[in-house]
A and B are shown apart, each in its own frame.
Chain A
Amino acid sequence: MTPTEAFERARRRSAVWIGIGLLLLATVYVRALVFTPAEVVQGLAQKIFYVHVPSAWVAFLAFGIVGVSSAVYLFLKDPRLDLFASSAAEVGMVFTTAVLVTGPIWGKPIWGTWWTWDARLTLTLFLWFVVLAYLVLRTAVHEPSQRARYSAVLGILGALLVPFIHVSVYLFRTVHPMPVVLRPGKPTLPGSMLATLLFSFAVFMLFFAALLWHRYALARLADARAHAAAERDDA
């Protein structure tokens, strides 16, 4: 089996998993809407929580992957790490956009405003800008190894920037709900809601992994094609 055939197979297999992820995503909606109690104060508006929060977790995971793969790339100079980092950035971009879209939809009925310059909103928005810059930079550099080095540097600096933006926006007042799961002590979220949230999180993880796998297989295919074209030109 040639490498191209292997990537082609990975692309087809990951597409199947994306399909499974989408089906499971539908069951998340059903479970959240039908089998999970409505929140007392917020009512139905709170249902978006089961999409908003897992998207945010997965988005942050994606940026962690970008930062780590970028750092390792600068040491090993393995082009696969660059392709992996860029795939994670692109998929992370999708989930960050989901966070930034579901956030205002939830914010409008509860906070009374689509947007507020709250600490975590601002942080997410700027993360989105950094990833956008990362993806734009990649389209603006032609030579693959130069593109890989530039994006690795930007990926690492972006990861370093996150805590600083977090602190600077935190010094402004925040209206965001405090964490209800990942906090010291026991989760304050009631059991049935927690179960739905964790289920949703698991589905989002699977969906993310499938998308990342798929995107990476596509990146390897594009890379293999570019190499083949370069060899043909040389010959």
Chain B
Amino acid sequence: MGELLRAAWAIAAKDVLLEFRSRTAFVSALVFTALVLAIFNFARDPTAVSAVDLAPGILWITFTFAGMLGLNRAFGLERENRALDGLLLSPASRTAIYVGKVLANLVFVGAVEAIALPLFALFFNVPILPVLGPLVLVIALATVGFVAVGTLMSSMAVNTRFAELMLPVLLLPFLVPPVTAAVQMTARLFAGRPFSEVSAWLRLLVGYDIIFVAACILFFESTIEE
């Protein structure tokens, strides 16, 4: 277990360092996120629909698309110069490779979300500070499920034709439960409803995370066998 986490950590650190040195993907994802948030402003009639009604959906569509940009990058990186072969030859187990990739993706997506959230609050005039604690919990839980499944799908998608198109086709149906739950909970939080009202959604989200993280760890090996 300790061995696995050390190897996973090393792989995650490598990916984060690579991203930190170039910052191309991160900056592009941020610009994309800001643009999506700004463009959504034109999707509503401000005199008819209040911002707070649309805000939860906008927030999660933005997070989903921004996250997908990051996931496409994760294994595309290893494909160049066949770097994945090197990773597979290293003593790190397949599980460690998967966990490391998930950790690096979580850092990437989490960082984008951390910057996008204040921007979202500013653009749509949503008071996020009073519900910040529960909101961060919801975002964290949904992001874990999203990234766990997305990392597995991207490891398959990079080896197909039209990789950038394939990832959304594979991944989006799997995002229905976590994103629906997240949108519903976010909406209740913004509306000032008590957190207990969303317990069914919360259980669904936690159950999804547990089942899919376990299943993805189990089946990742099958996607990179040579």
Chain A residues within CB distance 8 Å of chain B: 74, 126, 129-130, 132-133, 136-137, 140-141, 146, 149-150, 152-154, 156-158, 160-161, 164-165, 167-169, 171
Contact = CB atoms under 8 A, between A and B. Distances in A.
Interface string B146-160: 000100100010011
B2 interface: no
B159 A153 contact: no
B173 A161 contact: yes
B173 A133 contact: yes
Interface stretch (B17-25, B47-55, B88-96, B176-184): B176-184
A156 B216 CA distance: 10
Contacts of A154: 156, 170
B170 A137 contact: yes
Contact of B211 (A126, A130, A140, A160): A160
Contacts of A132: 169
Given A137-B166, A149-B222, A153-B219, A167 B177 contact: yes
Contacts of B216: 157
Interface stretch (B32-40, B119-127, B133-141, B199-207): B199-207
A136 B166 contact: yes
A152 B222 contact: yes
Given A126-B176, A146-B159, A74 B166 contact: no
A172 to B, nearest CB: 8
Contacts of A150: 156, 159-160, 223
B173 A74 contact: no
B65 interface: no
A164 B161 contact: no
A141 B173 contact: no
A153 B153 CA distance: 9
User: Does more than half of chain A's interface fall in helix, strand or loop, or is it mixed?
Assistant: helix
B71 to A, nearest CB: 15
B160 A164 contact: no
Q: Which of A130, A133, A164 has the most CB of B within 10 A?
A: A164
Contact of A140 (B162, B173, B174, B225): B162
B156 A153 contact: yes
A171 B204 contact: yes
Nearest to A148: B222
B225 A126 contact: no
Given A137-B156, A154-B156, A157-B149, 20 more contacts: A74-B222, A129-B172, A132-B169, A136-B166, A137-B160, A137-B170, A140-B160, A149-B223, A150-B160, A153-B223, A156-B215, A157-B174, A161-B177, A164-B176, A164-B177, A164-B208, A164-B211, A168-B176, A168-B180, A171-B200
A153 B222 contact: yes
B32 to A, nearest CB: 24
15 contacts: A74-B222, A126-B173, A126-B176, A129-B173, A132-B169, A136-B169, A137-B170, A146-B159, A150-B223, A156-B215, A161-B177, A164-B176, A168-B181, A168-B204, A171-B204
B212 interface: yes
A167 B208 CA distance: 11
Interface string B176-194: 1100110010000000000
Nearest to A126: B173
Contacts of A129: 172-173
Contacts of B201: 171
A162 B18 CA distance: 37
Contacts of B174: 157, 161
A83 to B, nearest CB: 17
B83 to A, nearest CB: 19
A133 B181 contact: no
Q: Which of B160, B184, B201, B225 has the most CB of A within 10 A?
A: B160
Contacts of B166: 136-137, 140
